[in-house]
Amino acid sequence: MGRAPCCDKANVKRGPWSPEEDAKLKDFIHKFGTAGNWIALPQKAGLRRCGKSCRLRWLNYLRPNIKHGDFSDDEDRVICNLYANIGSRWSIIAAQLPGRTDNDIKNYWNTKLKKKLMGLIIPNNNSSSYNNNNYQKKLPYFPSTSLHQAQQNLGPFITGPEQPIIIPSAQQNNLFTNNNNNLMMIANNLQNYPNFGATNYNLQNYPNFGEVASCSSSDGSQMSFGTNKDIINIKREEIMSFGHHDGAIYEEINNQQFNFGYFGNTMQEIATSCCTNGNSGSTTNSSNNFLLYNNDENCNKSNEIGMFYY
């Protein structure tokens, strides 16, 4: 035998809570607590609500010390840092931010913070590759605009970068699908800024993590670094000292080369260091933007990643 159903769904009220309902729930919980049984609570409190609805209302809105409103830069960093490491585990993230609820953080991430991070990437509307309805629907919020606007989007995150930026390549991750991997990659990249937070990457989330990796240069030479775990610990100066001026890196998996990303301390450096048409991964440069490509085996630009503004 199981238990009785939690509530009569046909006879419970749904939708927004009235101030009277809020007062009833608050008053009841202050007097009697939840007694460890949300399902029985509404009847005892005189509420025509489902127990689950009461629980949600209390936890997300009525309980004491709930913080509403703007998130601080510190909170932004904590959320990004944790999202980069554990993904959308909102309840765990919320546990690190006193007064914030998982629902609040989830909403904040989905409506604001994600866009702030994605502000690194501004679509190239002239690109036929991405000029389709699906793409437009997925990323409607980034007008082709200026460095100033990109900086506005990024807010406090870009402040004197000293570590490399790695832009994931389209071969490994399709930048313009709004999926968790891309966001985690971007969040990971932002961690490298001194004012951002932890500097450790967590690339175990990537399917090819740990495979042999190489760095390419426009002269065709290559340098193998062992694993891409090594690559993320290599400073740009070291790459330059090897003579790998392009900063395009890729990894070798089963003797096949997969574009991995690009190094540079600033967007401008990436733009200028990646502007040749040599190895896999190259760009063309213009005044304040650059186009990022993947090349095919014949070094032809075969896969346009997108337009980046700096």
Partner DNA sequence: AAGCTCCTCAACCGCCGGTTA
Partner DNA sequence: GTAACCGGCGGTTGAGGAGCT
What residues line the site for DNA (CB under 7 A)?
A: 1-6, 14-17, 36-39, 50-53, 55-57, 60-61, 68, 88-92, 102-104, 106-108, 110-112, 140-141
Q: Which is nearer to DNA, 77 or 114 (CB)?
A: 114
What order of strands is seen across the sheet that includes strand 256-262?
222-227, 212-216, 248-253, 256-262
Q: Which is nearer to DNA, 53 or 124 (CB)?
A: 53
- Residue 185 Cβ vs DNA, minimum distance, rounded to whole Å: 17
- Residue 79 Cβ vs DNA, minimum distance, rounded to whole Å: 13
Task: Identify any residues that bridge with 66 across adjacent strands, giving them in sequence order.
Answer: none
Of 183, 165, 173, the closest CA to residue 267 belongs to 165
- Residue 301 Cβ vs DNA, minimum distance, rounded to whole Å: 31
- Residue 302 Cβ vs DNA, minimum distance, rounded to whole Å: 32
Q: Which is nearer to DNA, 30 or 68 (CB)?
A: 68
- Find out whether 233 and 193 touch, Cβ atoms under 8 Å: no
Residue 11 corresponds to which tokens in the numbers above?
């006879």
Handedness of CA 276, 292, 250, 171 (dihedral sign): negative
Q: Which is nearer to DNA, 105 or 166 (CB)?
A: 105
- Residue 51 Cβ vs DNA, minimum distance, rounded to whole Å: 5
Residues contacting residue 103 through CB under 8 Å, at least 6 positions apart: 56, 60, 90
Which residue shows structure tokens 């399709």?
A: 174
* CA dist., res. 310 & res. 307, Å (int): 10
Q: What are phi and psi of 262, to 5 degrees?
A: -135, 145
Q: Which is nearer to DNA, 56 or 212 (CB)?
A: 56
- Residue 140 Cβ vs DNA, minimum distance, rounded to whole Å: 6
Q: Which is nearer to DNA, 118 or 249 (CB)?
A: 118
Of 174, 156, 157, 173, the closest CA to residue 165 belongs to 157
